[in-house]
Structure 1
Amino acid sequence: MTKDLGADRGTGGQAAGVRGPAAPPHRAERPPAPGATAGPPRDGGPDVAEPQTDRLRYLDAATRRIARGINLDETLDELCRAAVPAFADTAFVHLYAPLPVGDEPDDVAPGILRLHTTERARPRQSATQGSGPPAPAPAPVRAAEVVRPSATGPLTELLHAGRPVFADTPDTASAASELLETDIASSAAPPGRRLIVAPLHGRHHVMGSVALLREPDRPDFSGDDLLVASQLATHTALGVDKAALYAREASVADALQRTMLPSSLPAPAGVLLASRYLPASRTAQVGGDWYDAIPLPGNRVALIIGDVMGHSMTSAAIMGQLRTIVQTLAGLDLPPDEILHHLDEQAERLGSEHTATCLYAMYDPVLHRLLVSNAGHLPPVLLHPDGSTEVVQVPPGAPIGVGGGGFESVEMPAPAGATLLLYTDGLVESRDSDVLTGVERLRARLREAAAKSTSPALEVLCDQALGTLGPGDRDDDVALLAARFKGLLPETVAYWYLAPRPQNARQARRLTRRTLRDWDLDDLSESTELLVSEVVANAVRFASRPIVLRLLRTDVLRCEVEDDSPIVPRMRHARLSDEGGRGLFLVDQLAQRWGVTRVSTGKVVWFEQPLPSDRDAG
């Protein structure tokens, strides 16, 4: 029978590295494994060498068992299994939370601990009774109040000293009372040498403590047992230290990768977008999969999927660099094959041995066309409106970083209602399935979703594409980007080519007024004509070739003026005596949004205005 002792209390500022609230302690009483000894022999027997040999055998088996733990829970669980009942009847482990890893802020109050109690009780048995019944489920964690232990108390001194001790002196009994939250010093039968308190010292910090208790019906601990407890605590502390550092590194890596992915997808007119990202198992934790969707002039949108080879912090960092390069290149409005060509050149300059695959697609909702180029990535799958599926045939090209080049853009129809799925190999490849089989399974899941609904919601379709992948089923990261094409009706788009002459600003106003009348947007005619006139007048000052005036009616009225000059206009505040310099100021005041986009042939100045119904609603 064991005593239900309480949870721990922490130390004050004198204890090295003791900061923050405490994590749940672990308590366990477990039977020995079959064939194990009942515990290290006691001193005083007729044969001194035999007890020492038994202790060494026990320590060898126990430390090996503790070293098997990969994470924090496994390390503490193996300690409890090794210590109970072979060495003690009850083991209490108390940890500081967050565990110190060396970069704690200085303004955190030291020694503030949050108490928890976790029980994993097992009835003690002798070595001849076998391993006993199956272990019951752990009791639920119970949180207690935050406490502030004494900064100069005996518990602080005990942990600072770093040596295991018996609770057989007033100071050590007081320290044990503070640790176990019970007054054992004044109890009827103080534990004395039935209780060992051993600090858990990591490489640089105090990680917590372990208390080992024997019941009165069992012999007291001996002096040699302090050495055994010291070894158990040392190996446990190293395992806890390793687990804390690994958890911190994995958390940083995962946060790094997620911040490199888009926090949200854009909502361009003519296409619906959805995405999924699932990290691999915790043994891999971080990889180089990424996706992106970038709006382009003319209501077009670039769809990108990529995968850096390997799983490491380096892979995630390279992924972030490549994604940034792609975003910059996309802003130049280059064809997909040129995007991949420049990306390959930049990847070589990074000086990394890592390679990557990438697929770049450009969707035009006005022409209902798709332009795709591939750098060694898996081909996308197209789900047609009738429910059939198709693997898009695109020349694969060489992976990014290899330097082979040879990328080719392929143009194909993108009918309204069709859905394009871009994905990484983690979705279709596993230990028991090759890529071709995985792609066929993906197509079958998409057909099944289309059979249930003529137009399944895009979010539902993404979930269906993932299938039954669970947290422990993934050998690799999974990135998925889905785009459902809606397109724009031809009657919602108007564009003209204008010679770069100043008098054509008047013609631009006339064309705008006529188009807005046809679209029943006369309420926007006056403001839009003024804005178009200012933007066109600014373009003809620098253009050497015909400029393009484009109007698009979607959920907003968008105007784009494209010219061949790389000079980007800047808004400035004109003085009262200035005759010009107020054009972009008017655009900024009257338009809902405006901006300038650099393209390979020059630039595009655009602005947007809400439709009259939206203005009335606002």
Structure 2
Amino acid sequence: MTKQLGGGDPAPPATQAPPRTDLAAGPDDAEPHTDRLRYLDAATRRIARGMNLDETLRELCRAAVPAFTDTAFVHMYAPLPVGDEAGAAPGVLRLRSADRASPRDPDARGSGPPPTGPHALPAAEVVTPAADGLLSKLLQDGRPVFGNSPGVTSAAAELLGTSAPAVPPGRRLIIAPLHGRSHILGSAVLIRGPGRPEFTDDDLIVASQLATHTALGLEKAMLYEREAAIADTLQRTMLPPSLPEPPGVRLASRYLPSSRTAQVGGDWYDAIPLPGNRVALVIGDVMGHSMTSAAIMGQLRTSVQTLAGLDLPPDEVLHHLDEQAGRLGSEHTATCLYAMYDPVQQRLLVSSAGHLPPVLLHPDGRAEVLQVPPGAPIGVGSGGFESVETHAPAGATLLLYTDGLVESRDSDVLTGVEALRARLRAATSGSAPPTLEKLCDEALGALGAGDRDDDIALLAARFEGILPETVAYWYMAPRPQTAGQARRLTRRTLGHWGLESLVETTELMVSEVVANAVRFASRPITLRLLCTDVLRCEVGDDSPIVPRMRHARLSDEGGRGLFLVDQLSQSWGATRVSTGKVVWFEQPLPDTPTDG
């Protein structure tokens, strides 16, 4: 009995299983061979559509059942070998997929109770083949075999999880090893019931082709998943592991990789604390998706962090960043937006290198797209960056984002920015402003769960400001008497703030740091005290020489100043800025627990 595949019709549509075939043709019958080729063409194209392991195996089963076999199940090694690495062969096969045709309708899969009969044999959930056993050798060999071949019955029984006599008699079972380019991945078992002819030698060739294309599809899916995981891990390691918590501002962020590529992108964001309790907010996007884009992104982010430490204005930071990108010798360009927030003066200074404008949410609910001169992208080398200043009142929120949030195949950037502004305005229209985390979710809208054409980076900053009465600031001439003047000003200010318990230690540290600044300064030095969640003291001068702590000898008359600061303060440091340096130290407020 011969059932031919579709006559002269073209290959079946992708949504249908290949037509059923029970081919047992002789060498002079050309039509069945043509039908086998047609069937294999449709089946292999179907298998190739799978984008992950489960999809690939599902397409194999749909292509094989019921068109070629009544039952198909696949065991795969666990863990699966990936790539070209030569490792120890895994010792466990686990059932990964199974499919059976209904005995009531051989051309349909049963959705009710499992079918019964010889073609409904069970599959072992877990198989542990012996390293030198028949099953292992059969899989190593890589060629499909009939279940009743000499010596194969016991291997088939292992896969069926039953005794050898229960293996279907005759040529009704095929074991097809799944052999990839470098590794054995598992095996496929194909079983025909008593209602159709046994497998033929030509069917063994068909099974071999199905197994080969499935194995290649599985390897492709595994490599894609591994590359996607590596790309995602690489991208996330280049982003800040956590955001700082500077006084006067609260921060939140989101990063969503593109769902349409396994390659790493070039989107990044950063928040960098600056001297004087200011904070730099940065977002950028290197054009393209590749490891090169990621490498350039990492270099630019490091350069921005270094430049931010010099306390340069935003336009100067972008100017030097553009010069650095030119020295990288790459044809890649990047957009970048650099904003500097001062919580004391409650002002925002912003400069852009071809980046999208940020959105400022005012306390009254207005959503304003800031008008920032776009400038040229980083790497173009034309410069011309400008900084614009705007008032950033307490309660306002700034949102920085990359183009993946507002641009898609269905809308342009301007439409996307307007839609973003509308979403943010709606999110803040209630009686109470949403939390930053909730605001980020609202900004993403439906993009968080759907397909994304590009990466999305998002940085949100809610400005709280620092009350003027919690800040004291003085300019003092670099004279020997200045240390005593600094002590008196410190004592008076701490008394006004109700911090009498900190007067003695703070006076001593202020005196030591100011005396050190007087030694090197040629212009007036600055002394600033800030009382936020800690008491912070900053002393600035025009000398770029950063002091280093050293251990003074018993015979030395000096050299113990920074040692005392290190012992008495909670933390301290020295930062070079464009005008010289700033030395600072912090102390916990009374009744404030310290770390450790």
Fold conserved between structures, TM > 0.5: yes
1:407 aligns with one of 385, 403, 407: 385
- Structure 1 residue 285: Cα displacement: 5.7
Matched, 1:318 2:296: yes
1:513 aligns with one of 464, 475, 491: 491
What is the match of residue 233 of structure 2?
A: 255
What is the match of residue 371 of structure 2?
A: 393
Contact map agreement 2:420 2:443 (CA 8 A) in 1: yes
User: What is the letter of the counterpart of residue 413 of structure 2?
Assistant: V
Contact map agreement 2:75 2:93 (CA 8 A) in 1: no
What is the match of residue 524 of structure 2?
A: 546
2:502 aligns with one of 512, 524, 530: 524
User: What is the letter of the counterpart of residue 53 of structure 2?
Assistant: L
Contact map agreement 2:352 2:386 (CA 8 A) in 1: yes
Mean alpha-carbon deviation: is it higher for 68-77 or for 516-525?
A: 68-77
- Structure 1 residue 541: Cα displacement: 2.3
Contact map agreement 1:111 1:149 (CA 8 A) in 2: no
User: What is the letter of the counterpart of residue 338 of structure 1?
Assistant: E
Go from structure 1 to structure 2 and tell me whether the alpha carbon gap of 1:535 and 1:114 turns closer, same or farther (over 3 Å shift). farther
Mean alpha-carbon deviation: is it higher for 143-152 or for 373-382?
A: 143-152
Q: d(CA) in 2 for partners of 1:299 and 1:144?
A: 65
1:154 aligns with one of 114, 120, 134: 134
Go from structure 1 to structure 2 and tell me whether the alpha carbon gap of 1:68 and 1:403 turns closer, same or farther (over 3 Å shift). same
Q: d(CA) in 1 for partners of 2:522 and 2:480?
A: 12
Higher relative contact order (CA 8 A, sep 6+): 1
Q: d(CA) in 1 for partners of 2:490 and 2:60?
A: 79
SS where residue 269 of structure 1 aligns? Answer: coil
- Structure 1 residue 321: Cα displacement: 1.7
Q: Identify unmatched segments of 5+ residues in structure 2.
A: 1-12, 115-122
What is the match of residue 93 of structure 1?
A: 74
What is the match of residue 39 of structure 1?
A: 21
**1:148-172 deviations in Å (ceiling 9; x for gaps):** 5311111111111111111224532
Go from structure 1 to structure 2 and tell me whether the alpha carbon gap of 1:580 and 1:158 turns closer, same or farther (over 3 Å shift). same
1:84 aligns with one of 53, 65, 68: 65
Matched, 1:365 2:365: no
Contact map agreement 1:122 1:135 (CA 8 A) in 2: no
Go from structure 1 to structure 2 and tell me whether the alpha carbon gap of 1:379 and 1:496 turns closer, same or farther (over 3 Å shift). same
Contact map agreement 1:381 1:422 (CA 8 A) in 2: yes
What is the match of residue 579 of structure 2?
A: 601
User: What is the letter of the counterpart of residue 75 of structure 2?
Assistant: H
Q: d(CA) in 1 for partners of 2:170 and 2:303?
A: 68
Aligned ranges for residues 343-362 of structure 1 at < 5 Å? 343-362=321-340
Contact map agreement 1:40 1:55 (CA 8 A) in 2: no
- Structure 1 residue 270: Cα displacement: 0.8
Mean alpha-carbon deviation: is it higher for 599-608 or for 92-101?
A: 92-101
SS where residue 152 of structure 2 aligns? Answer: helix
SS where residue 429 of structure 2 aligns? Answer: helix
1:173 aligns with one of 133, 153, 170: 153
1:53 aligns with one of 34, 40, 53: 34
- Structure 1 residue 438: Cα displacement: 1.7
**1:5-41 deviations in Å (ceiling 9; x for gaps):** xxxxxxxxxxxxxxxxxxxxxxxxxx99879542151
1:492 aligns with one of 470, 474, 487: 470
Go from structure 1 to structure 2 and tell me whether the alpha carbon gap of 1:116 and 1:523 turns closer, same or farther (over 3 Å shift). farther
What is the match of residue 26 of structure 1?
A: none
What is the match of residue 405 of structure 2?
A: 427
> What TM-score results when the alignment is normalised by the length of structure 2?
0.90
- Structure 1 residue 99: Cα displacement: 2.4
Q: Identify unmatched segments of 5+ residues in structure 1.
A: 1-30
**1:263-296 deviations in Å (ceiling 9; x for gaps):** 1111111111111122222435632211111110
Contact map agreement 1:380 1:421 (CA 8 A) in 2: yes
1:455 aligns with one of 419, 433, 438: 433
2:564 aligns with one of 586, 595, 605: 586
What is the match of residue 14 of structure 1?
A: none
Contact map agreement 1:371 1:412 (CA 8 A) in 2: yes
2:536 aligns with one of 555, 558, 562: 558
Matched, 1:235 2:213: yes
SS where residue 172 of structure 2 aligns? Answer: strand
Go from structure 1 to structure 2 and tell me whether the alpha carbon gap of 1:616 and 1:406 turns closer, same or farther (over 3 Å shift). closer
> What TM-score results when the alignment is normalised by the length of structure 1?
0.87
User: What is the letter of the counterpart of residue 151 of structure 1?
Assistant: A
Aligned ranges for residues 127-142 of structure 1 at < 5 Å? 132=108
Go from structure 1 to structure 2 and tell me whether the alpha carbon gap of 1:132 and 1:163 turns closer, same or farther (over 3 Å shift). closer
Percent of aligned positions with the same letter in both sequences? 76
Q: d(CA) in 1 for partners of 2:109 and 2:70?
A: 17
- Structure 1 residue 398: Cα displacement: 0.3
Mean alpha-carbon deviation: is it higher for 498-507 or for 348-357?
A: 498-507
User: What is the letter of the counterpart of residue 309 of structure 2?
Assistant: G
Matched, 1:71 2:49: no
Go from structure 1 to structure 2 and tell me whether the alpha carbon gap of 1:124 and 1:241 turns closer, same or farther (over 3 Å shift). farther
Mean alpha-carbon deviation: is it higher for 284-293 or for 489-498?
A: 284-293
**1:27-63 deviations in Å (ceiling 9; x for gaps):** xxxx998795421510448x43222222222222222
Go from structure 1 to structure 2 and tell me whether the alpha carbon gap of 1:572 and 1:36 turns closer, same or farther (over 3 Å shift). closer
Matched, 1:265 2:243: yes
Q: d(CA) in 2 for partners of 1:525 and 1:585?
A: 19
- Structure 1 residue 125: Cα displacement: 8.0
Mean alpha-carbon deviation: is it higher for 64-73 or for 424-433?
A: 64-73
How many aligned positions are there? 576
